[in-house]
Amino acid sequence: MIAEKSSKTIDVQINKDVLVVGAGKAGLTAAAQIAAQGYKAVVIGNKTACACGAGCSKEMQDAGLVEIQDGTSLVDIAGVAGDFRVTLGKGEETCEVTFGAVVVAPQYTGVPLNSAYGLALNDKVISQTQLEALLADDAGKEKLVNGSGSTVAFLSGFGQEGDPTATGRVLASALEIQKLENCRSYIYAGNVKVGAKGMERLFTQGRNEGVVCFKPKTMPTIEQDKENVKIVITDPVVRADVELEPDYVVVEEGVVVGPDNLGIAQTLGIDADVDGFLPSNNVHRFPVKSNREGIYVAQNDVDAANVALQVKALIGDGVRTLTEDIAVVDDTKCVICLTCYRCCPHGAIFWQDGAAVISPAACQGCGICASECPMDAIQLGEFTDADLKSGVKEAVASAADATPSIVAFCCKNSALEAGEAAAQFGHEMPAGFRMVKVPCAGKVDVDFIMNALVEGADGVMVAACHEGNCKAERGNIYAGWRVEEIRQRLENMGLNKDRVVFTTIASNMAREFACKVNEFAEKL
């Protein structure tokens, strides 16, 4: 239900239940954190870990704040933040449930990197997952003790760049080994990454318990025969080789995307990075946001805590006050061509009463849809076409006495801040240079660029975010396409296509921004 608050804002009712997709440790941890905020969390997937590690809560489940639906899967999703209508399935049965937010706890698979160390897996050379399985039950521990005890060597950080999660697994296992009777742990680490909550304490605890950690600058020399493995490093302190023939060698694991991750991402309409990991590698979304408002990603305990904060900010007490005209559709012009629906990076557009409708709860105001709409049926409240054209006219007029006059359409998330910083820091730029603020470079359409040239600008620059760092995910790509289209048009008319340029810049690159502008001016 939506109730109008004023001509510019509306109050929107937000469903207070949260769906968590993934019943592994990260998903259960996120559910517990969300429940601690007072919201009900429904967890679906194949349960692979106990929730008690997450502050779990049998109490929360008994109170109805956490509901675990083991074996239930995500089938489909419709709606937007605050009102996601989710189809869930188990076996041949399906049902539709409404949630205010969705959390994805993706599953990843570990692949042993033994080949990076020139090792073959066998009974004595095992993966981190295999060791954890041995430590998980009494029979496995007895095998490790083997009467007189075992020496276990961990190889980490040479087959790949280390991270706190991998380091935590090694440290926890090494500490468990050290506690077994007559067992000793040795860690050979390229880099001990302890930049996560509790990791420094775990490392110190392991050292106090007798875990030996070597941090050689290069990979150890490793020799393997049919039965034994010998590890050799040169100790820089004693200036001598240190040799070890452990009973077990544990190799680190690389992480690969679980088989269901990309399917879930596609169903939810969220972007993955180039390797298939969730969420996309976008600085504007770190650490847990996706390109869709109300859909978050939790990969570990730290993410789970951040997700709970994001959920609380979204849902609050169940009512959100939103800007009504962030983007609106003129239903007399809309022909339902689906262009806006296809290009919206935030899943904010749906259909109602024979026309497109843009949800103020999901829209992030980038303007890509407005620029792509062939009927000019979409307007942004703060950046209407009329306002932008007026801004261009004023920019050109104010620079009429300077040569060359340059109009730069600057994304407010990157280039605008860089340009303003360049001016504040006193970097020299042409007297005829003027910036026009846009919500995203994706809002800059062909008409705006041509309008600037018609008004008398000597040159036009479109300045966007770097690839992969656009807040609207693909706004910079659309802008680049449009600039190239204009350049081609100018060339076909026998005009200098270099009067229009496209560039990318980050918000902290004031000096580079000034250099780009000056280089452009010199070419005009």
Phi, psi of 391 (to 5 degrees): -65, -35
Q: What residues contact 138, with CB distance under 8 A and at least 6 apart?
A: none
Among 297, 319, 341, identify where a domain stops: 319
SS3 label, residue 447: helix
* 396 and 495 inside one domain: yes
- For 46-92, list the strands marked E by DSSP: 66-70, 73-80, 83-90
* 414 and 513 inside one domain: yes
* 356 and 280 inside one domain: no
* 466 and 406 inside one domain: yes
Which strand (E) or helix (H) includes residue 477? helix 475-492
* 149 and 245 inside one domain: yes
What distance in Å separates the CA atoms of residue 480 and residue 263, rounded to the nearest whole number? 30
CA distances from 83 to 14, 291, 293, 433 (A): 7, 17, 11, 45
> Is the overall model pTM greater than 0.75, yes or no?
yes
Q: Going residue by residue through the chain (524 aa), what tens digit of pLDDT does each one get?
A: 333 334 588 898 999 999 999 988 889 999 999 999 999 999 999 875 444 444 455 656 656 789 999 999 999 999 999 999 999 999 999 999 999 999 999 877 889 999 999 999 999 999 999 999 999 989 999 999 988 899 999 999 999 887 787 888 999 999 999 999 999 999 999 877 766 667 788 889 989 999 999 988 899 999 999 889 999 998 777 778 899 999 999 999 988 877 778 889 999 999 988 777 888 888 888 889 999 999 999 988 778 999 999 999 999 999 999 888 899 999 999 999 999 999 999 999 998 888 999 999 999 999 999 999 999 999 999 899 999 999 999 999 998 889 999 999 999 999 999 999 999 999 999 999 999 999 999 999 999 999 999 999 999 999 999 988 999 989 999 999 999 999 999 999 999 999 999 999 999 999 999 999 999 999 99
Q: Which single residue is written with the structure tokens 């502050």? A: 55
**Which candidate, 7, 4, 8, places its Cα nearest to that of 323?**
8
Q: What is the CATH number of the domain that holds 356?
A: 3.30.70.20
Phi, psi of 370 (to 5 degrees): -65, -40
Which strand (E) or helix (H) includes residue 169? helix 164-179
Among 319, 347, 366, identify where a domain stops: 319
Range of the domain at 308: 2-106+258-319
What distance in Å separates the CA atoms of residue 134 and residue 462, rounded to the nearest whole number? 59
* 238 and 262 inside one domain: no
**Angle of helix 25-36 versus helix 301-315 axis, rounded to 10:** 40
* 82 and 117 inside one domain: no
Please give the tally of structural domains in the chain.
4
What distance in Å separates the CA atoms of residue 446 and residue 465, rounded to the nearest whole number? 19
Among 207, 222, 255, identify where a domain stops: 255
Q: What is the CATH number of the domain that holds 397?
A: 3.40.50
* 242 and 154 inside one domain: yes
* 501 and 398 inside one domain: yes
Beta partners for 501? 461
* 116 and 229 inside one domain: yes
Q: What is the CATH number of the domain that holds 72?
A: 3.50.50.60
Q: Which is it for strands 295-297 and 184-189: parallel, antiparallel or unpaired?
A: unpaired
* 342 and 460 inside one domain: no
* 230 and 145 inside one domain: yes
Helical residues (DSSP H) of 316-398, grouped into ranges: 339-343, 368-372, 385-398
